Amino acid sequence: MVTVSESVGVDFGPLDALPLPPGLQVLLRSFRPGHPHTPSPPGSLAQLYHRHDRGRAEQTLGFPLPRLSALLDAGQVELVATAGVAEVVAPGQRGGSGPVTVLYLPDEDVLQSSLREAEGRGLSTVEVDYGVSWPSTPPETLRSLGSGDATMIDVRGQHVGVQHTRTGQTRLAWQQRLAEVECNIAVYLPHPPLQAVELLVRCDVPSVSRP
């Protein structure tokens, strides 16, 4: 990765409303994705994920899952799911189980598509990992032909990493304590970085409720 020196240290301030600062809009429009990603995992979304009732999942976790309200307002279907394990595991018992994922689909027919096909049809996901620490990420802008261009922004007081991924999606990721549980949250949106950040800001995510 090569640091873009002209962008390092630029403070766009905490973002909590639109429009985004003009300088940030220019930066995000300039982002390019990395090289194409590895092939899609075998099987359809219906085969990869176990579906769960949102309320029951949140009761087991002990904290509310983030919600992309703008996608619900647009008529998308919201599903709470886990991959690889059939049950949502409580934070104190988690061990090596994977994250809880909230999927947003244009319609439920997309569940019959592979992951890559679903991404092409508008799949958005919110992965909530808990009990696993992430390394700290420096607040700088990076250009990478391998993994995709990335930067760090402040959304409602949370440091959110923005990356144009190898699949052409935008990854938005941050760490947040939810009801005393340390969580690593990653949102994958089928939009260029500028539109993805705008959508995140419209959704009131990350939540303003922080310790």
Q: Locate the domains of the chain by residue range.
A: 2-202
Query: For the chain, how big is the Rg over CA atoms in Å?
Result: 17
Task: Find out whether 7 and 27 touch, Cβ atoms under 8 Å.
Answer: yes
Taking the model in full, what pTM does it have?
Answer: 0.88
Nearest partner of 108 among 93, 121, 127, 95, judged by Cα: 121
> With pLDDT > 70 as the criterion, what percentage of the chain qualifies?
82
Residue, of 11 and 84, whose pLDDT is higher: 84
Cis amide leading into 139 (omega within 30): no
Task: Find out whether 148 and 35 touch, Cβ atoms under 8 Å.
Answer: no
Q: Residue 183 CB: number of other CB atoms within 10 A?
A: 23
Average pLDDT over residues 169-180: 90
Q: How confident is the model at residue 27 (pLDDT cuts 50, 70, 90)?
A: very high
pLDDT at 84: 82
The angle subtended at Cα 146 by Cα 140 and Cα 149, nearest 5°, is 35
pLDDT at 94: 62
Pairing outcome for strands 150-155 and 158-164: antiparallel
Three-class HEC string of 102-162: EEEECCHHHHHCEHHHHHHCCCEEEEEEECCCCCCCCCCCEECCCCECEEEEEECCEEEEE
pLDDT in tens, 41-92: 789 999 999 999 999 999 999 999 999 999 999 999 999 999 988 899 998 7
Three-class secondary structure of residue 76 per DSSP? coil
pLDDT at 7: 46
